[in-house]
Amino acid sequence: MSIQWYPGHMHATKKAIVERMKGGIDVVIELLDARLPGSSANPMLADLTRGKPALKVLNKQDLADPDRTAAWLAYYNALPATQAIGLDASVTAPAQRLTDASRSLAPLRGGMAKPLRVLICGIPNVGKSTLINTLVGKKAAKTGDEPGITKVEQRISLASDFYLFDTPGMLWPRIAVPESGYHLAASGAVGRNALDEEIVALELLQTLRANYPGHVEERFQLKDVAELPDEAWLEAIGRRRGAVLGGGRVNLQKASEILIHEFRAGGLGRVTLETPEQFLQWQATAAVHDAERAQKKARGKRGAPEPADSDRDRDSE
């Protein structure tokens, strides 16, 4: 199953970012989900903002594996013209951290004559609206559990010479890395109409079992399941939470929703679904598949039969 979600308002957001970049942006802040720092980085945004200093903010770090967060911060900080920091609800002065990091990336900007112009972007449901409200000290942006709530750009002044341009959450037209699609779906970045919760839950279980098996067993009080397949784990979760239909059958749809909700809410403990090394390998594999697909398509075009004489006659009429 391939997970894709790119509704019309995201295309409008892309166009708005292009226009904003033409108007002058000094630094681009990209808010990432600390539990999936590679999958939540928008490759289309990288193309749209190429050449601009970047501040990668790993949000929700309190829900993520601290060791893996440290690895991701090191990875992003090693990139040229890039800084990376972690944020969560416990950070008492997020505005100061963002402004200080942004100013260090554009040291020649500042003051009323040339205020610092910063674009903040991120995938849906990454916590950007909540962060904006924290920065300005009031409810400036709508928040909610469903992706795609914010649909218009707004300008926010964090200081007299610091303008922050907020944009709606945006994915990209085609998610080439399958693992990223599942991770984005599990995090809530993808609309429900674009995913099958049972498939997403099973993929999530596979990852959690490989890296944090004790977290799942402890949260749902599962016993004697270590050697069982993922489907049996999902059934056990459903039974523990009362998702049982007539005849004792488990409602796998409900069990899947329960597991995904627990992940999103942090009920499974501090987990991160990917490491930098894993994500780079997934990208490399996806690139090979894309190249093979392109070659196959090109061969198909070259091998297409010549049109019949009657077809040529019709084309020339």
pLDDT tier at 303 (50, 70, 90 boundaries)? low
**Residues of the chain by 3-state class (helix, strand, coil), percent to 5:** 50, 10, 40
Q: Rounded to whole angstroms, how far apart are CA atoms 195 and 198?
A: 9
Intervals of CATH 3.40.50.300 along the chain: 9-166
Residue 65, both tokens: 């594996």
Answer yes or no: is pLDDT of 139 > 90: no
pLDDT of residue 1: 59
Q: Is 121 helix (H, G, I), strand (E, B) or coil?
A: strand
What CATH code is assigned to 178-265?
A: 1.10.1580.10
Answer yes or no: is pLDDT of 3 > 90: no
Q: With beta carbons less than 8 A apart as the criterion, state whether 98 and 163 touch.
A: no
Intervals of CATH 1.10.1580.10 along the chain: 178-265
Answer yes or no: is pLDDT of 141 > 50: no
What CATH code is assigned to 9-166?
A: 3.40.50.300
Q: What is the mean pLDDT of the chain?
A: 87
The per-residue DSSP string of 208-260 comes to: HHHH-HHHHHHHHT--S-TTS-HHHHHHHHHHHTT-B-GGG-B-HHHHHHHHH
Residue 82, H or E segment: strand 82-86
Answer yes or no: is pLDDT of 145 > 70: no
pLDDT of residue 147: 44
pLDDT of residue 186: 96
Answer yes or no: is pLDDT of 75 > 70: yes
pLDDT digits (tens, 9 = 90+) for 7-41: 677 888 888 888 888 888 999 999 999 999 999 99
pLDDT tier at 191 (50, 70, 90 boundaries)? confident
Q: Which of 123-132, 149-158, 233-242 has the highest mean pLDDT?
A: 233-242
Answer yes or no: is pLDDT of 228 > 70: yes
Q: Which of 98, 22, 44, 34 is nearest to 69 (CA)?
A: 34
Answer yes or no: is pLDDT of 162 > 70: yes
Q: Report the percent of the chain where pLDDT is more than 90.
A: 58
Contacts of 148 (CB under 8 A, 6+ apart): 7, 9, 10, 124, 168, 169, 191
Residue 264, H or E segment: helix 252-265
Answer yes or no: is pLDDT of 317 > 50: no
Mean pLDDT of 256-268: 96
Rg (CA), the chain: 23
Residue 293, both tokens: 């697909």
pTM: 0.85
Residue 121's beta-bridge partner residues?
A: 30
